[in-house]
Amino acid sequence: MKSEKIILGIDPGTTIMGFGLIKVVDKKMQFMQLNELMLKKYDDPYVKLKLIFERTVELIDTYHPDEIAIEAPFFGKNVQSMLKLGRAQGVAMAAGLSREIPVTEYLPKKIKMAITG
């Protein structure tokens, strides 16, 4: 019997939110989709958060992932940037949790190592 899992990966941001979907069948990864949500043209930070939430829910409702992998916060020197990033992460997480999809945070370094080997 084949085990199959769909994972939605999210790289949150208030300027660009990157996302990708993979299917794992018997420990073999299959590419599904890779895209980004461009948010540069929106000035209102709350509109950006709403769009992040809506796009994440749309991806969940379309692809029915078994889990969400999201990039964990890293520590930077600019407090305002960190606050904006934290909000984007929280909104993406809330979208997954609103559909009862488990969310796991991964450090950027671990994600890059897993993808590139």
Q: Tell me the per-residue pLDDT of 83-114, one tens digit each, with 9 for 90 and over.
A: 888 999 999 999 999 999 999 998 877 766 66
How many Cβ atoms are within 10 Å of 13's Cβ, its own excluded? Answer: 20
| In contact, 63 and 69? CB cutoff 8 Å | no
- Render pLDDT for 46-78 as a digit per residue (tens, 0 to 9): 999 999 999 999 999 999 999 999 988 766 678
**Domain limits for position 94:** 4-116
What's the domain count of the chain?
1
The model carries a pTM of 0.89
Pairing between strand 4-11 and 67-71?
Answer: parallel
CATH number for 20? 3.30.420.10
